[in-house]
Every structure is written in C-alpha cells, then in structure tokens.
Amino acid sequence: MTRTVLVPSSLTREAEDKREATRKLGYVARAAVIFRVDRLVVYPDSSGDDGRFGDGFVDTVLRYAATPPDLRKELWGRRDELAYVGVLPPLRVASQTGSESDDSGSLRQGIVTEVGSDDRVRVNCGMQHPVSLPVPPAMATPREGERVTVRVTSRRPVRARLLDIPPSGYQVERADLQAVLARPDAGVRIAASRHGEPVSPRLLEDIEPARGDSTVVFGAPKRGLPKILGVEPSDVTDGSGDGPGSDCDTDEPLSRFDLWLNTVPNQASKVVRTEEAMFASLAVLTME
C-alpha cells in the first residue's frame, strides 16, 4: 500500500519571512509522518510561486526534515534554504531499532553518498565512516542523496547490508502533478478542496482510501486546486468528474481525480491553511 501526498511549490508564498515559511513546512512534515505518508511530492505551481525563498525551497526543507538528525550536518552543511531549520518540530521517526549486539542487528536509516559502477553504493548510516555495500539483486540502485535502510550486525569489524525495504518516514520528490496521478500505484486519486463533496461515512466506505493505494492533492494559500488547475469552482461543485473508479483522462483537469473531497465541510474560518487541511484530510482518510 502506497500513500502519496502532493503539495504545490507555492505552499509558502504568503509566509511573512523564511522563518515562518520553514515553520509552516515543519507542520507539513509532521502531518506526513503522523499519518504514514510514503511519498511527499512537490508539484510545480509556477503562476502562484513568487520565488521569494528561491526555487526548490519547499522540497529542500522537507527533505532536510526527513533526514535522520545524526546525518543532517554532514549531508546538508550550510545552505541558505536551511537558515531557520531550528524551528522545525522534531518528527520522532524511528531511524534505528534493535541492539548492536543482537544477532538480528539494528535497522538504521542511511544516506547514499556515492553510487559505484559495480552494483555497490557508499552509505552514511551513522558509523564512523560511510560503508560500501552491495545493492541486492532485486533492488533498484538508489540515487545519490536517497535515504535507504541498512541492517548493521557488527560495528567492529563493520558488518552491514542494504535492505530492500523503504526507510521510516516519507520520501520527497519534485514531480509534475499529471505524471504522479497517472502512476500505476496512484490508487484512489483525491483532490482536497472546499468546493468538493463533503466527506461522509458513505463516501469513505465507497473508496476505502485506508485499505489501498491513495493519492491526495492539496492546493496553496489563496490558490486552491481549481485555480491552480484552471477550472471553475462551480464545475467542481456541480460534480463534473466521473466519480470513484473512473478512468483518468489526463486532458481534463477534473477527471484526473476520482473524487473532489471537502474534509472540513463546516469551517468557521474563511481560510483553512494547507497544513491544517493536511491534518484534517489525512485523519479522515486513514480511518479504517
């Protein structure tokens, strides 16, 4: 089961400064971890992104937040985008398990620092130095900078192996919205919008998002999904999509989704922030 969440590159466009923008992204990261999001995808919203904090600011901060704390300094160093990462809330993702002396070893998160030509990669996994490990035959060769899972059975001498299982927490991508919705594991495609159909037990029973693959897409401050996709809110309200289980017509923005869903149907505030919408939506969609 793969749970994918998409947020726009313009997510922090209305933050007063880089500090507040970083804090906002910290809440997004917390929501992703709490509700077991596998992939957090940043999709381009060029018309809504004022670029105040530089191209790639959103995905850089989210990647940093997902990095195990003991690897952050060596991996990231000093970067302008990370000037205020001290305000990020701790994610408390389990990056290590087990005991070093246990026969089964400890599971650790590592960062690929170098990809060799002999089906080996060098991985920084909190040891004194990066370790060179063979890539399992059935595993796709990870990219440089990618997080991986390593089982360490001995530190002296070093004995470790790469595991073909996803690391704890979320992976960050930067990808086109249409391409992500067309992936084989997109599952139920949900657009989160105040113009969508109010959430109800019947809807959740029909789509069962907690029991299979799902993809949930969020808009930006003052630029909800209808505006980002260039459709009228009235078209969403009128139910122009084909509903759950429809084929994805990539030429029509509305029919790219199985459902336009309003997870805060009786909001008393004029605006629900994206990070707030994430908590509200994922809390509902992960119920079994």
pLDDT 10s digits, 269-284: 888 899 999 999 999 9
Q: Take residue 243 and report the two structure tokens written for it.
A: 């509903």
Report residue 121's pLDDT band, with 50, 70 and 90 as the boundaries.
Answer: very high
Is 72's pLDDT higher than 50? Answer: yes
The whole-chain average pLDDT of the chain stands at 86
The dihedral of CA 85, 91, 95, 101: what is its sign? positive
Can you tell me the mean pLDDT for 214-239? 85
- Identify whether the C-beta of residue 45 lies closer than 8 Å to the C-beta of residue 223: yes
Look up tokens 């170098």; give the residue: 114
How confident is the model over 165-222, as pLDDT tens digits?
888 889 999 999 999 999 999 999 999 999 999 998 888 888 777 778 999 999 988 8
Can you tell me the mean pLDDT for 76-101? 78
pLDDT at position 217, please? Answer: 97
The full DSSP string for 87-137 is GSPP-----EES-TTSTT-EEEEEEEEEE-SSSEEEEESSSSS-EEEEPPT
pTM: 0.84
Domains, in order of start, for the chain? 3-91+170-240+255-286 (3.40.1280.10), 96-163 (2.40.50.140)
Q: What is the dihedral of CA 265, 270, 274, 280, to 10 degrees?
A: -30
Can you tell me the mean pLDDT for 135-159? 90
Query: CB neighbours of 271 closer than 8 A, spacing ≥ 6?
Result: 221, 222
pLDDT at position 147, please? Answer: 87
| CA gap 275, 273 in Å, rounded | 6
Nearest to 6 by CA among 144, 31, 105, 21: 31
| CA gap 75, 124 in Å, rounded | 9
pLDDT at position 282, please? Answer: 95
pLDDT at position 250, please? Answer: 44
Can you tell me the mean pLDDT for 89-99? 67
pLDDT at position 117, please? Answer: 83
SS3 146: coil
DSSP β-ladder status, 96-97 and 147-155: unpaired
| CA gap 226, 208 in Å, rounded | 24
Q: Which of 68-82, 97-111, 145-159 has the lowest mean pLDDT?
A: 97-111
How confident is the model over 22-61, as pLDDT tens digits?
999 999 999 999 999 999 999 998 776 656 787 889 999 9
SS3 80: helix
- Identify whether the C-beta of residue 215 lies closer than 8 Å to the C-beta of residue 189: yes
Q: Take residue 269 and report the two structure tokens written for it.
A: 């505030």
Look up tokens 């087990």; give the residue: 98
Alpha carbon 81 to its chain's center = 18
Q: Take residue 207 and report the two structure tokens written for it.
A: 């789509």
Is 238's pLDDT higher than 80? Answer: no
Q: Take residue 93 and report the two structure tokens written for it.
A: 């993702």
